[in-house]
């Protein structure tokens, strides 16, 4: 594993590049200030954590850390938080006496982190202004910084490096589009990546791309995807029945659509209505990715004369109630609720978002559907398809037919679920490999 020798001079030799970066950062911030100020007045989404983003350390965080140097895990939003939750659990077990600090950028990410992670303290990640990151890092003084996937903040990483605090990129992924953009900035990215002690990448392709961006090959490792390290204990029949009773859906078959985006709810709805013509008892459990769209989605459903019940309203009045649609408006429940799905569609895939985590329903052995846009989960989607663990629906109009066929073919559903589960099982182990890297980094810097 590479040490600190030879890195500092290269990083600090790029003063002109950092000056240009900070000038552009400041200009961009000033240009967006009127919009940001207006949104801050309109919604709490933009006000949440604003003081923390500008460097304020809440008293609760300082009290939780009590002057001890934490392991700092940064996960930008919901997807990264969910992926990192088992890693945080593993770190807690391996380093029980070391405090854990978790930071996010988004409000929903912060809420999910508090619901899913057993950390000592939670924080909104600071804006990447030099004076802000200097203040926060000096106040927190982490012993190690872990960034999930590809959250690369030049000033933050540079100050960590100057303080001798190691940073580790965990579960690194570089999309083809990002790679093309980063390659154009290779001289600067070489300086930035020189501030990172180790880069733990999902695949050999990701490793080759980050080396192509300027990372030193000796610091780059292929450890697999931590998203595979989900618990492999599907609910028992009794547990699933209890969950169904809590939802008020009884034994009804359920078409579940998770992490949907604008434009996908209409596709899901049409497929549901088509399938319900053949399976009248079918329920729809709809979980939009962004909860601020709930009113819009509920209005869409009601235009189709469908009765809707929100999860936050509690259990349905009775299992016989004529409420065909359950709208999931709570945070942190989706992965567990996949257990009640008879057929599951994972959103972000019929619009060019790039897909969402299809492994969560795989952990419950569910029949999984997704659309054509899966570039953010390309390797996982390819593995599922190769193993017969999912179906990719290329056109929206084919969704209803596919859903109807699966609902009437339990053996096909079982085969899909078993295939998905086998992919998940065979690719586990990335968290253990990352924990080993973390141990090495901490030992190296303790004895440096």
**Residue 300, number of CB atoms within 10 A of its CB:** 16
Task: Please indicate whether residue 149 is annotated as part of the active site.
Answer: no
Residue-wise burial string across 301-312, b where 16 or more C-beta atoms lie within 10 A, e elsewhere: beeeebebbebe
Taking a C-beta distance cutoff of 8 angstroms, is the pair 58, 140 a contact? no
Cβ-proximal residues to 389 (8 Å cutoff; 6+ apart), any chain: 362, 368, 383, 416, 417, 418, 419, 420, 421, 422, 423
Q: Give Cα separations from 270 to 53, 184, 249, 264, 428 (angstroms).
A: 42, 43, 21, 10, 36
Q: Give Cα separations from 50 to 25, 45, 59, 61, 123 (angstroms).
A: 17, 10, 15, 15, 11
- Angle (deg, nearest 10), helices 176-184 and 186-193: 100
Q: Per the residue annotation, which of 15, 80, 296, 439 is the catalytic one?
A: 80
Largest Cα–Cα separation, the chain: 71
Q: Which residues are catalytic?
A: 80
């Amino acid at each position: 594993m590479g040490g600190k020798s030879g890195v500092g001079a290269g990083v600090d030799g790029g003063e002109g590049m950092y000056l240009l970066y900070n000038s552009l950062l400041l200009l961009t911030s000033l240009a967006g200030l009127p919009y940001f100020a207006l949104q801050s007045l309109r919604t709490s989404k933009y006000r949440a954590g604003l003081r923390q983003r500008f460097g304020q350390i809440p008293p609760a965080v300082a009290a939780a850390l009590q002057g001890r140097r934490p392991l700092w895990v940064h996960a930008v939003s919901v997807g990264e938080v969910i992926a990192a939750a088992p890693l945080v659990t593993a770190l807690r077990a391996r380093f029980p006496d070391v405090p854990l600090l978790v930071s996010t950028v988004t409000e929903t990410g912060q809420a999910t982190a508090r619901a899913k992670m057993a950390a000592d303290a939670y924080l909104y990640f600071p804006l990447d202004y030099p004076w802000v990151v200097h203040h926060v890092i000096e106040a927190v003084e982490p012993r190690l910084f872990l960034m999930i996937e590809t959250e690369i903040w030049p000033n933050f990483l540079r100050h960590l490096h100057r303080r001798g605090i190691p940073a580790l990129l965990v579960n690194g992924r570089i999309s083809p589009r990002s790679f093309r953009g980063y390659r154009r900035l290779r001289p600067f990215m070489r300086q930035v990546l020189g501030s990172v002690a180790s880069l733990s990448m999902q695949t050999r392709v990701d490793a080759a791309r980050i080396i192509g961006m300027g990372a030193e090959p000796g610091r780059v490792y292929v450890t697999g995807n931590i998203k595979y390290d989900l618990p492999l204990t599907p609910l028992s029949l009794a547990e699933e029945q209890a969950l169904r009773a809590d939802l008020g859906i009884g034994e009804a078959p359920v078409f579940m659509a998770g992490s949907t985006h604008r434009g996908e709810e209409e596709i899901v709805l049409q497929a549901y209505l088509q399938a319900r013509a053949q399976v009248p008892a079918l329920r729809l459990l709809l979980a939009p990715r962004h909860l601020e769209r709930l009113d819009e989605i509920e209005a869409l459903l009601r235009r189709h004369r469908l009765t809707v019940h929100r999860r936050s309203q509690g259990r349905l009045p009775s299992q016989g109630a004529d409420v065909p649609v359950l709208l999931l408006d709570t945070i942190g429940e989706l992965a567990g609720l996949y257990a009640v799905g008879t057929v599951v569609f994972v959103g972000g895939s019929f619009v060019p978002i790039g897909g969402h985590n299809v492994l969560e329903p795989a952990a419950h052995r569910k029949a999984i559907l997704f659309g054509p846009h899966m570039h953010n989960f390309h390797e996982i989607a390819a593995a599922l398809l190769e193993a017969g663990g999912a179906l990719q629906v290329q056109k929206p109009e084919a969704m209803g037919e596919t859903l109807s066929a699966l609902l009437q073919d339990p053996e096909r559903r079982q085969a899909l679920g078993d295939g998905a589960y086998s992919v998940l099982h065979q690719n586990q182990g990335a968290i253990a490999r990352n924990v080993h890297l973390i141990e090495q980094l901490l030992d190296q810097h303790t004895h440096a």
